[in-house]
Chains A and B, each alone.
Chain A
Amino acid sequence: SSELTQPPSVSVSPGQTASITCSGDTLGTKHACWYQQKPGQSPVLVIFQNIQRPSGIPERFSGSKSGTTATLTISGTQAMDEADYYCQAWDSSPVVFGGGTKLTVL
């Protein structure tokens, strides 16, 4: 299957750790990327190749992958991290995105 499944929503208290999962058969052979998107803005890449963080992305963002599930972890979550998060399996075609997870920082 080329689908990626994410929980629709995740809630976290400020300062706590948020984890967002992304599951799909294609992740068994493909790298995962993660994007953060705030309302009215273009997506921002926060994790690539499962665990790598682009320059400028805070260290509190980390990624992992086990089998067919990738996980985005935000440690010490801040109010500014409230956003939609999308996973993506990298391939030339087709490129598959998860349905997105709305992270709420309560």
Chain B
Amino acid sequence: EVQLVESGGGLVKPGGSLRLSCAASGFSFSRFSMNWLRQAPGKGLEWVSFISSSGSDIYYADSVKGRFTISRDNGKNSLYLQMNSLRAEDTAVYYCARSELGGYVYWGQGTLVTVSS
């Protein structure tokens, strides 16, 4: 069974940093591209970042470019999102999701990041 489990969310002050993790199991992690997406409270879905299976291709949404860094460790079956210079508008549930079929079939349960003083 494919499982994606996010962790690392919490309350952080504006300007602070947080590192999210996504532990993958039930599939060959190194064969799939992965993504981070987010959803602000009461709002719609927003794609945040993409990383290819080998990590050689990386893309970011303009809203996080220069502040967030996506990475992966295929040996540990894990995906990461380093978030720096956090802003109130980064408050959201952050999901990791596997790329396939031209969409996202598997999603984690999400981890809440709250940026507030």
- Interface residues of A, Cβ cutoff 8 Å to B: 31, 33, 35, 37, 42-45, 48-49, 52, 54, 86, 88, 90, 92-100
Residue ID in chain A nearest B103 by CB atoms: A33
The number of residues on chain B lying at the interface, defined by a beta carbon within 8 Å of a beta carbon of chain A, is: 21
* Number of residue pairs A-B, CB distance < 8 angstroms: 59
In contact, B44 and A94 (Cβ under 8 angstroms): no
> Are A42 and B110 CB-contacts (below 8 A) given A94-B62, A97-B44?
yes
User: B49-85, CB under 8 A of A: which get 1 and which 0?
Assistant: 0100000010111100000000000000000000000
- Interface residues of B, Cβ cutoff 8 Å to A: 35, 44-47, 50, 57, 59-62, 95, 101-105, 107-110
A-B contact pairs, 27 of them (CB 8 A): A33-B102, A33-B103, A35-B103, A37-B45, A42-B108, A42-B109, A43-B104, A44-B107, A45-B103, A45-B104, A45-B105, A52-B101, A54-B105, A86-B44, A88-B45, A90-B103, A93-B50, A93-B60, A94-B61, A94-B62, A95-B50, A97-B44, A97-B45, A97-B47, A98-B44, A99-B44, A100-B44
